[in-house]
Chain A
Amino acid sequence: MNASAMNLSAKMLSPADVLAIKERHPAAFERSLVKRFSVVLCVAVVALYAVYVSWFFAIGKVVSEGNWDIAGTYLADWVSYEVRPDIDFRTGEIVVEFPKFSPLGSNPDPEWITTKSGTVTVKEKSNDDMTQSKPVSSGSFMAPDASSGGAELSFMAPSSTATNMGSNEASSKARDSNLVSTQKEGINQAEIVFSKTAQIIVTPSVVTLVNGAESVVLDVDPLDETVEARGALPEWALQKREGEKIFVNYGFAGRAEVRAKEVKIMRRFFGWENFFFDTNSHYWGKPFSEVASLAISGERIFEGRSNVSLMLDNFLNNAEWQHGDVYIKLLQTIVMAFVGTLFAVVIAFPLSFVAARNITPNRFLNQIFKRFFDFLRSVDMLIWALFFTRAFGPGPLAGISAIFFTDTGTFGKLYSEALENIDDKQREGVRSVGASPAAVQRFGVVPQVLPVFASQALYFWESNTRSATIIGAVGAGGIGLKLWEAMRTNQDWENVFYMVILILIVIFVFDSASNALRSRLIGKQQS
Chain B
Amino acid sequence: MLTTQPNNPALHIDAEGNYDLDSHFKQLRSQKRLYTFIGLAVLGAALFFSLWFANETNSGKFLDRLPHLFDFVGDMVPRDGWEVWRALFDLPSPYFDGSLQYNYPEGRVYITQNIYVPEYIYKMVETLNIAILSTLIGFIFGFLLCFLAASNLTTKRWLRFTVRRILEVLRAFPEIVIAGFFLAIFSLGPIPAIIAVSIHTIGALGKMFFEVVENADMKPDEGLRAAGGNWIERVWFGIVPQILPNFLSYALLRLEINVRASTILGAVGAGGIGEVLRLSISRGHEAKTLAIILILFSTIVCVDQLSAYLRKRIVGNQAFEFGA
> Is B65 touching A57 in the complex (CB atoms < 8 A)?
no
| Segment from A79-87, A204-212, A255-263, A470-478 that makes contact with B | A470-478
Question: B139 — nearest CB in chain A belongs to which residue?
Answer: A46
- The docked-state distance in angstroms from the alpha carbon of A508 to that of B296 is 32
Report the bound CA distance from A471 to B261 in whole Å: 10
User: A230-238, A285-293, A375-383: which one contacts chain B?
Assistant: A375-383
* Complex Cα gap A332–B50 (Å): 8
Interface size on A, residues (CB 8 A): 71
CB atoms of A68 and B185 under 8 A apart: yes
A380 contact from B59, B172, B264, B268, Cβ within 8 A? B264
On whether A386 and B278 interact (CB within 8 A), knowing A339-B51, A395-B59, the answer reads: yes
Nearest residue (CB) in B for A56 is B129
CA distance A57 to B301 in the complex (A): 25
Q: A469-B174, A483-B174, A500-B177 are known contacts. Are A339 and B54 too (CB-CB below 8 A)?
A: yes
In the bound complex, do residue B322 and residue A53 qualify as a contact, i.e. CB atoms below 8 Å apart?
A: no
User: How long is the Cα–Cα vector from A67 to B274 in the complex, in angstroms?
Assistant: 25
Q: Cβ of B263 < 8 Å from any Cβ of A? A: yes
Contacts of B168 in A (CB 8 A): 508
Segment from A58-66, A99-107, A301-309, A424-432 that makes contact with B: A58-66
Nearest chain B residue, comparing its CB with the CB of A374: B301
Interface core residue of A68, A377, A397, A400 (most chain B CB under 10 Å): A397
A244 to chain B: which residues have CB within 8 Å? Answer: none
* A53-B133, A62-B191, A387-B72 given; A393·B176 CB < 8 A: no
Best-buried of B47, B293, B322 by chain A (most CB within 10 Å)? B322
Task: Give chain B interface residues in 43-88, CB to chain A under 8 Å.
Answer: 43, 46-47, 50-51, 53-55, 57-60, 62, 65, 68-72, 75
Question: Which residue in chain A gives the minimum CB-CB distance to B194?
Answer: A57
CB of A438 closer than 8 Å to a CB of B: no
- Docked Cα-Cα span, A397 to B323, in Å, equals 29
**Which residues of B are found within 8 Å of A70, using beta-carbon distances?**
184-185
Q: Are A473 and B260 in contact (CB under 8 A)?
A: no
Once the chains bind, are A378 and B300 in contact (CB under 8 Å)?
yes
Report the minimal beta-carbon distance from A326 to chain B, rounded to whole angstroms. 13
CB-defined contacts of B293 to chain A, threshold 8 Å: 379, 383
Given A62-B191, A395-B59, A483-B180, the answer on whether A380 and B51 have CB atoms closer than 8 Å is no
Q: A368 contacts the other chain (Cβ, under 8 Å)?
A: no
- B54 and A380 contact, CB distance less than 8 A: no
CA distance A65 to B189 in the complex (A): 12
B268: which A residues are within 8 A, CB to CB? 470, 473-474, 484
Q: What chain A residues lie within 8 Å of B237 (beta carbons)?
A: none
A contact patch SS: helix
From the candidates B68, B264, B320, name the one contacting A382 in the complex (CB within 8 A).
B264
Distance between B112 CB and nearest chain A CB, rounded to angstroms:
17
- Verify if B173 is at the interface (C-beta below 8 Å from A): yes
Per DSSP, chain B at the interface is helix
Question: How far, in Å, is B48 (CB) from chain A's closest CB?
Answer: 10
The residue in chain A whose Cβ has the minimal distance to the Cβ of B76 is: A387
Q: B46 near A338 (CB under 8 angstroms)?
A: yes
In the bound complex, what is the Cα–Cα distance between A471 and B173 (angstroms)?
15
Q: Check A136 for interface membership: any CB of B closer than 8 A.
A: no
B175 at the interface (CB under 8 A from A): yes
- Smallest beta-carbon distance A490→chain B, Å: 6
**B55 near A378 (CB under 8 angstroms)?**
no
Cβ contact within 8 Å between A470 and B54: no
A415 and B269 alpha carbons, distance in the complex (Å): 35
Contact A71 B185 (CB under 8 A): yes
B211 to chain A, nearest CB (A): 6
Q: How far is the CB of A413 from chain B (nearest CB, A)?
A: 10
In the bound complex, do residue A414 and residue B322 qualify as a contact, i.e. CB atoms below 8 Å apart? Answer: yes
Q: Are A391 and B176 in contact (CB under 8 A)?
A: no
Q: How far is the CA of A354 from the CA of B235 in the complex (A)?
A: 46
Partner of B267, one of A382, A390, A397, A504: A382
B296 touches A380 (CB 8 A): yes
Nearest CB in chain A: distance from B316 CB, A:
14
Which residues of A have CB within 8 Å of B55? Answer: 397
Within the complex, what minimum Cβ distance (angstroms) separates A292 from chain B? 32
How far, in whole Å, are A378 and B264 apart by their CA atoms in the complex? 13
Bound CA span A456–B297, Å: 25
Residue pair A53, B180 in contact (C-beta under 8 Å): no
Given contacts A382-B264, A466-B174, A483-B177, contact A393 B301 (CB under 8 A): no
List, in ascending order, chain A residues with CB within 8 A of B96's CB.
none
Q: How far is the CA of A383 from the CA of B72 in the complex (A)?
A: 11
Contacts of B281 in A (CB 8 A): 386-387, 390
Is A378 a contact of B304 with CB atoms below 8 Å? Answer: yes
Contact status B264-A508, CB under 8 Å: no
Contact A339 B75 (CB under 8 A): no
Residues 136 to 186 of chain B near chain A (Cβ within 8 Å): 136, 168-169, 172-177, 180-181, 183-186
Chain A residues near B118 (CB, 8 Å)? none
Complex interface residues of chain B between 290 and 324 (CB less than 8 A to chain A): 293, 296-297, 300-301, 304, 320, 322-323
Residue of chain B at shortest CB distance from A392: B65
Name A394's closest neighbour in chain B (CB-CB).
Answer: B59
Whether A396 contacts B58 in the complex (CB less than 8 A), given A70-B185, A470-B175, comes out as yes
Task: State how many angstroms separate the Cβ of A75 from the closest Cβ of chain B.
Answer: 8
Answer whether residue A74 sits at the interface, using C-beta atoms and an 8 A cutoff.
Answer: yes
CB of A424 to closest CB in B, whole Å? 17
Asked whether, in the complex, the Cβ of A379 is within 8 Å of the Cβ of B50, the reply is: no
Please state if B58 and A504 are interface contacts (CB–CB under 8 Å): no
Q: Which of A176-222 contact B (CB under 8 A)?
A: none
Flag if A483 contacts B176 (CB, 8 Å). Answer: yes
B300 touches A332 (CB 8 A): no
- A383 vs B322: C-alpha distance in the bound complex, in angstroms? 27
Q: Which residues of A contact B65 (CB under 8 A)?
A: 391-393, 397
Given contact pairs A383-B293, A470-B265, A500-B173, A452 touches B322 in the complex (Cβ within 8 A): yes
Q: Is the CB of A335 within 8 A of B50?
A: yes
Name the distance in Å between B76's Cβ and chain A's nearest Cβ.
Answer: 9
- Interface: B190 (CB within 8 A): yes
Query: Top 4 nearest A-B pairs by Cβ distance?
Result: A395-B58, A487-B180, A393-B60, A393-B59
Q: A382-B277, A391-B65, A400-B54 are in contact. List 16 more A-B contacts (CB 8 A).
A: A46-B136, A66-B186, A332-B54, A338-B50, A381-B260, A382-B267, A390-B71, A392-B65, A397-B60, A397-B65, A466-B172, A470-B176, A477-B57, A480-B176, A496-B177, A527-B211
What are 27 A-B pairs with beta-carbon distances under 8 A?
Answer: A46-B136, A49-B133, A57-B129, A63-B186, A332-B54, A342-B43, A377-B304, A380-B263, A380-B296, A381-B260, A382-B277, A386-B277, A390-B281, A391-B68, A392-B60, A392-B69, A393-B60, A396-B57, A397-B55, A470-B176, A483-B176, A483-B177, A487-B180, A487-B184, A488-B180, A490-B184, A500-B173
Q: Which residues of B contact A (CB under 8 A)?
A: 43, 46-47, 50-51, 53-55, 57-60, 62, 65, 68-72, 75, 126, 129, 132-133, 136, 168-169, 172-177, 180-181, 183-187, 189-191, 194, 211, 260-261, 263-265, 267-268, 274, 277-278, 281, 293, 296-297, 300-301, 304, 320, 322-323
